[in-house]
Homo-oligomer: A and B are copies of this chain.
Amino acid sequence: MRDSFHDELDSITQTLVEMTMLVKQATQDATTALLTADLQLAEKVIAQDDRIDQIQHELDSRTMLLLATQQPVATDLRVLVTSLRMSADLERMGDMAHHISKLARMRYPATAVPSEASLTIEEMGRVAGLIIGKLAKIIENRNLDDAKQLAIDDDEMDKLHRKLIQSLISKDWPHGAESAIDLTLLGRYYERSADHAVSISRRIHFLVTGRYLQEKD
């Protein structure tokens, strides 16, 4: 039988999974808002970011309480310390969706993404959703093979990012510097979101094994 401390540890993991699903939804909504110039949806993502921040603070308070009262060691301690880190990464991934939505709002009623780039951005949004969905499962199951796989999915994101930048510096880019700036930032937001996901998957490796994997920069 499990004691209440371990029930609470499980519950913290469950909250991290829920937070991840919220971030996934925010990222997908932000992409839709961006590509379809949907102001209402952009506003929704922007408003919901506070909720994600709030979940992080609640999670951190619960984690601190367990650290203070339960003297955890070994895996239990790593679950708590890793939770503090994962919640920070997830909060930051929420910020990326927030930034994407703010750019969508800033350019409304136009769209920030000209047709030449919309397929690439759509793909970046799709891959981000895929990665974040897998991440939720990895946080839940702590499967190290799945965690490793995430770095490979991230290669796909990096490829799309390079493709985007390549299209901006091609001689045919007709949309001027402002649009190039928007797309440079958008590309970075998607890429960073995926990087944070990979970073979390490395923390899962640490949680399970107690050893660090080399960080990607």
Residue numbers of A with Cβ under 8 A of B are: 49, 53, 57, 64, 67-68, 71-74, 77-78, 81, 84-85, 88, 91, 95, 98-99, 165, 168-169, 173, 176-178, 180-181, 184-185, 188, 212, 215, 217
Contacts and interface: CB of A to CB of B under 8 A. Distances in A.
B49 A98 contact: no
Contacts of A57: 212
Given A68-B73, A84-B81, A217-B49, A177 B169 contact: yes
A177 B188 contact: no
A64 B81 contact: yes
A53 B95 contact: no
Nearest to A168: B177
Contact of A217 (B95, B185, B217): B95
Contacts of A64: 77-78, 81
A9 to B, nearest CB: 15
Contact of A67 (B77, B95, B181): B77
Given A168-B177, A177-B180, 19 more contacts: A49-B217, A57-B212, A64-B77, A67-B67, A68-B73, A68-B77, A84-B84, A85-B88, A95-B217, A165-B181, A168-B181, A169-B176, A169-B181, A180-B180, A180-B181, A180-B184, A181-B184, A184-B184, A188-B188
A67 B66 CA distance: 11
A213 to B, nearest CB: 11
A58 to B, nearest CB: 11
A91 to B, nearest CB: 8
A64 to B, nearest CB: 6
B88 A215 contact: no
Nearest to A89: B88
A90 B168 CA distance: 32
Contacts of A85: 84-85, 88
Contacts of A185: 184, 188
Contacts of A91: 215
A208 B62 CA distance: 19
Scoring A77, A184, A188, A217 by chain B CB atoms within 10 A of each residue's CB, the highest score goes to A217
